[in-house]
Structure 1
Amino acid sequence: MADAPHPSRVEDDDPHLVRVRELCLALPGAGEKRSHGSPTFFTRKVFAVFGGALKGDHYAPVARHSLLFLPDESEREALIGDERFFVPAYFGPSGWLGLSFHLIGAVDEVDWVEVAELIEMSYRLTAPVTLVRELEARADR
């Protein structure tokens, strides 16, 4: 007997997810799939997840409505000192952080340039070198 799929953690038309999806899927070779109920963005490896959990609280609003990403080690300490960021369950032990849209507010209150930079940082740390070169070539045009 097959396991039942995880229930969706977020609606596909959530305005924050719509913007995150646009940013993620604009990157070379990026795809999207659902994993454990959350939209997950990947090349060969996952570079961003929409929605997470806190250790001991899988339903915390601060984490359920968030962007999970892998920061560069040199940026991690500064980010974690900002109250908008948190260490997510499951991903946190591997160095990932979460940016809580719940704490920021409505979609028009989000600094989407900052979000794009976080997504790109995570992408660069996880994508194959050929895709990173393609991204850099786009920027040179």
Structure 2
Amino acid sequence: MPPAGPPTDAAPGPAAALERLRALCLALPGCEERVSHGEPSWFAGGRRMFATFADHHHDDRTACWTAAPAGVQEHLVATDSERFFRPPYVGHRGWVGVYLDRPVDWPQLADLLLEAYRLAAPARLRAALDGDL
């Protein structure tokens, strides 16, 4: 589980947050972006979604929803509910929401996205990520 740290940047606008999120996701091997439920979303190997952008779709906030290993969502929300939340629809499966309309700890978000990708990626892409091919 990535440690919760202080935010490292001022709050980006929605377009800047999306571009930075997109760059982090598309840097992962075999990642594909497509729209799902009206929002840009990222899929490992084109199959399983591991992250989605949420720009005022379900509330008045800009955020990222990402898959997370067991216990991560609960820990992050309990320790910093100003930055993390349980997203609707997927929160019951352990996904964690990260607010992007406030200062963001981008290295921590990159770690969360990497963990989410590992949960969704097929074995061949995990091996490519680890350099085991």
Q: Same fold (TM over 0.5)?
A: yes
Q: What TM-score, normalized by structure 2, do the two folds share?
A: 0.78
Which whole-Å deviations, capped at 9, do the CAs of 1:76-129 have from their partners, x for residues lacking one?
321121111111111112221100112x2xxxx422111110100100111101
Structure 1 residues without counterparts, runs of 5 or longer? 1-12
The 8 Å contact of residues 67 and 100 in structure 1, kept in 2 or not, is answered as yes
Cα 1:52–1:90, aligned 2, differ >3 Å: closer, same or farther? farther
Q: Could you say which structure has the higher strand fraction? A: 2
The 8 Å contact of residues 52 and 88 in structure 1, kept in 2 or not, is answered as no
Aligned to 1:36: 37
Aligned mates of 1:15, 1:39 — CA distance in 2: 14
Matches within 5 A, 1:46-85: 46-51=49-54, 59-62=58-61, 65-81=62-78, 82-83=80-81, 84-85=83-84
Q: Verify: 1:88 aligned to 2:91, yes or no.
A: no
In the alignment of these two chains, the number of paired residues is: 115
Letter in 1 for 2:33: E
The 8 Å contact of residues 52 and 89 in structure 1, kept in 2 or not, is answered as no
Greater Rg by CA: 1
Which whole-Å deviations, capped at 9, do the CAs of 1:22-61 have from their partners, x for residues lacking one?
00001010000011210010022001000077xxxx5422
Q: What TM-score, normalized by structure 1, do the two folds share?
A: 0.74
Aligned mates of 2:100, 2:30 — CA distance in 1: 26
Q: Could you say which structure has the higher helix fraction? A: 1
- Bigger relative contact order, structure 1 or 2 (CA pairs below 8 A, ≥6 apart): 2
Which aligned runs of 4 or more in structure 1 are off by greater than 6 angstroms?
A: none
Letter in 2 for 1:73: A
Aligned to 1:21: 22
